Amino acid sequence: MTKIQQDLEDLTQKATSALIACEDAAALEAWRVAYIGRSGLIPGLLRNIKDLSDEEKRTVGSAANALKRELEEKYQEQLHVIEKGASTRGVQATNCKLQAGGGHLHPLTLTLNRVHEIFSAMGFIIADGPEVEEVKFNFDLLNTPAEHPARGAGDTFMVDPMSVNGAEDLVLRTQTSPMQIRSVAAMQLHPPFSVIAPGRVFRKEKVDATHESTFHQFEGLSISETTSIADFKSVIETFFSAFFHADVVIRLRPSYFPFVEPGFEVDMSCVFCKDGCRVCKHTKWIEVMGAGMVHPNVLKNMNIDPDKYQGYAFGGAIDRLAMIQYGINDIRLFWSGDVRFLRQFDRVIPAKAGIQVDPPSRRAGVDAGSSPA
């Protein structure tokens, strides 16, 4: 038996037993990527065939192709089993919970509530706005250049104007940043003010363990005559320290967002290690949000005089905070409706008012497969 034939046989064994062990959609997807996906082991093996003699190419090639077909079929079967199983399990678990008289909050709601609480305690007003947004608010008034790639149908979900009686150009908002303009107008805010707007956003993303086509952001805006980057740094350090119950330091890296100047990416010091770990990818820093000083054009679009007032804006992702906090390793779990995942949060006590209320153990023990921590 040649080496490649032996490899093929080993791989068959490994792939089959790993497939049977997949108990949920996330594990099955990881299996698909690892074995039969484009960069998976089986296509990898097929690529190596080119180095064999013609005779071997024929025998090994047809065996590998047959294996690939077989695994694809088994994958479909397993997918069917999981989908069927999940829906039955879901119903039973829901009934159980109903009989027991209790449900509990979704991890994203828990995280969102915590964000509300901490910013409210620091004097931020909370604002809410539409998920179907006018192009004007999502891009134009935020100083976004006409040729910016995010404006295209490749990145953004466009709303068919016919479905809304030919109203303004509409999109599913790609960010909560339009709430900067909207909240100032809707609440007639005059500086000094600080506002926070959490909400759901939508993007044409290729969905994988770290990307979803819909997720949640929180947008912050704070304006006065003197608001500075130092104020931003202090507020955001206070926020992350309260959120993670740790002494968090942040650092700013220069970046570009059309609605701020200067703009920066914000990293927080890793709250799980001192010397590097999986969560911080051994860098000791975790990227947490984008931010900057509000661009004068955007201030003008808010009817605020840029010669008199200044301030900062920031936007972070609630889903990402929840993943870091609870050690969740696959963003798709949030929308999976899988009760085996959700049930793990019935132990999590909803936070009460005040910014230092939760025991540090809140992030413990919630894992969906292996925890990144």
Residues tagged in the binding site annotation for Mg(2+): 261
Q: Which of 260, 257, 217, 259 is nearest to 131 (CA)?
A: 217
Nearer to ligand DAH, 143 or 175 (CB): 175
The least CB distance from residue 181 to ligand DAH, in Å, is: 11
Q: Which two tokens stand for residue 232?
A: 């931003």
Q: Which of residues 285-304 bind ligand DAH (CB under 6 A)?
A: 290-292
Nearer to ligand DAH, 239 or 257 (CB): 257
Angle at 96 between CA 95 and CA 100, to 5 degrees: 115
The least CB distance from residue 304 to ligand DAH, in Å, is: 15
Helix (H, G, I), strand (E, B), or coil: what is residue 255? strand
The enclosing H or E element of 340 equals: helix 339-342
Tokens 């363990």 belong to: 209
- Residues 82 and 323: their CA atoms lie apart, in Å, by 24
Say how many C-beta atoms besides its own lie within 10 A of residue 102's C-beta.
8
Tokens 């220069």 belong to: 254
- Stretch near ligand DAH under the rule CB under 6 A, chosen from 185-193, 284-292, 338-346, 352-360: 284-292
Helix (H, G, I), strand (E, B), or coil: what is residue 254? strand
- Stretch near ligand DAH under the rule CB under 6 A, chosen from 11-19, 32-40, 48-56, 256-264: 256-264
Out of 315, 318, 321, 328, point to the residue binding ligand DAH (CB under 6 A): 315
Out of 139, 257, 334, 341, point to the residue binding ligand DAH (CB under 6 A): 257
Which residues are part of a known binding site?
261
Out of 219, 319, 330, 338, point to the residue binding ligand DAH (CB under 6 A): 219
Helix (H, G, I), strand (E, B), or coil: what is residue 15? helix
Task: Tell me whether residue 206 is exposed, middle or buried, using C-beta atoms within 10 angstroms of its C-beta: 0 to 12, 13 to 18, 19 or more.
Answer: exposed
- DSSP track, 64-95: HHHHHHHHHHHHHHHHHHHHHHHHHHHHHHHH
The least CB distance from residue 361 to ligand DAH, in Å, is: 31
Q: Is 313 in the site for ligand DAH (CB under 6 A)?
A: yes
Q: Which of residues 21-80 bind ligand DAH (CB under 6 A)?
A: none
Task: Tell me whether residue 302 is exposed, middle or buried, using C-beta atoms within 10 angstroms of its C-beta: 0 to 12, 13 to 18, 19 or more.
Answer: buried
The least CB distance from residue 332 to ligand DAH, in Å, is: 20
Out of 35, 215, 218, 314, point to the residue binding ligand DAH (CB under 6 A): 314
Nearer to ligand DAH, 31 or 257 (CB): 257
Inter-axis angle of helices 3-21 and 41-48, to 10 degrees? 170
Strands, E, within the chain: which ranges? 125-126, 132-134, 158-159, 170-172, 193-202, 214-224, 250-255, 260-269, 285-294, 310-317
The least CB distance from residue 183 to ligand DAH, in Å, is: 12
The enclosing H or E element of 108 equals: helix 107-121
- Stretch near ligand DAH under the rule CB under 6 A, chosen from 62-70, 87-95, 236-244, 310-318: 310-318
Dmax over Cα atoms in the chain, in whole Å? 80
Q: Which two tokens stand for residue 310?
A: 């200044």
Nearer to ligand DAH, 263 or 327 (CB): 263
The least CB distance from residue 198 to ligand DAH, in Å, is: 13
- Residues 363 and 243: their CA atoms lie apart, in Å, by 11
Total chain residues near ligand DAH (CB under 6 A): 12
Nearer to ligand DAH, 132 or 252 (CB): 252
130 to 169: interface string for ligand DAH, x by CB under 6 A = ----------------------------------------
Nearer to ligand DAH, 175 or 269 (CB): 175
171 to 200: interface string for ligand DAH, x by CB under 6 A = ----x-x-----------------------
- Stretch near ligand DAH under the rule CB under 6 A, chosen from 38-46, 192-200, 257-265, 280-288: 257-265
The least CB distance from residue 211 to ligand DAH, in Å, is: 13
> Contact residues for ligand DAH (CB under 6 A)?
175, 177, 219, 257, 260, 263, 290-292, 313-315
